[in-house]
């Protein structure tokens, strides 16, 4: 079952807070289209990457990339990049272990 992004967990007036708000807004207007990954999946990938970044420098980097996006098309492309490089890699790795 898909999981919506939770409320913004970041301190006010930080880049992370601004980036996460962008992800929340993108999620609200995104659709779960037939394409893979959908805009909705892209929005959630970016938001959860901010929440679960293993190190602060990684979180700053992702937040900066999200804030740099000028529109939903750019956000989707960023989400697709991480989908292709993390999610697909994990799926491939999982299949090769069998």
Q: Tens of pLDDT along 30-56?
A: 877 767 789 999 999 999 999 999 999
**Tokens 């999200």 sit on residue:** 66
Instruction: Give pairs for 44-47: CB < 8 Å, separation 24+.
Output: 44/2, 44/3, 44/4, 44/5, 45/79, 45/82, 45/83, 45/86, 45/87, 46/19, 46/75, 46/78, 46/79, 46/82, 47/5, 47/20, 47/23
Place of tokens 């807004």: 25
* Number of domains composing the chain: 1
In a domain, 1, yes or no: no
In a domain, 58, yes or no: yes
| 5 falls within a domain | no
**Residue 4 within a domain:** no
Instruction: Specify if 79 maps to a domain.
Output: yes
Q: In terms of residue numbers, what domain contains 86?
A: 15-96
The Cα 85–Cα 18 span in angstroms is 24
* Domain annotation covers residue 37: yes
Distance CA 21, CA 97 (A): 37
Residue whose tokens read 């956000």: 75
What is the average per-residue pLDDT within 7-16? Answer: 97
Arithmetic mean of pLDDT, 12-31: 95
């Amino acid at each position: 079952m898909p999981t919506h992004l939770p409320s913004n967990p970041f301190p006010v007036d930080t880049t992370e807070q601004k980036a996460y708000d962008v992800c929340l807004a993108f999620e609200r207007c995104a659709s779960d289209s037939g394409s893979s990954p959908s805009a909705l999946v892209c929005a959630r990938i970016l938001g959860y990457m901010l929440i679960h970044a293993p190190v602060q420098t990684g979180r700053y980097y992702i937040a900066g990339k999200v804030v740099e996006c000028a529109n939903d098309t750019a956000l989707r492309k960023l989400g697709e990049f991480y989908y292709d490089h993390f999610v697909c890699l994990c799926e491939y790795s999982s299949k090769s272990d069998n």
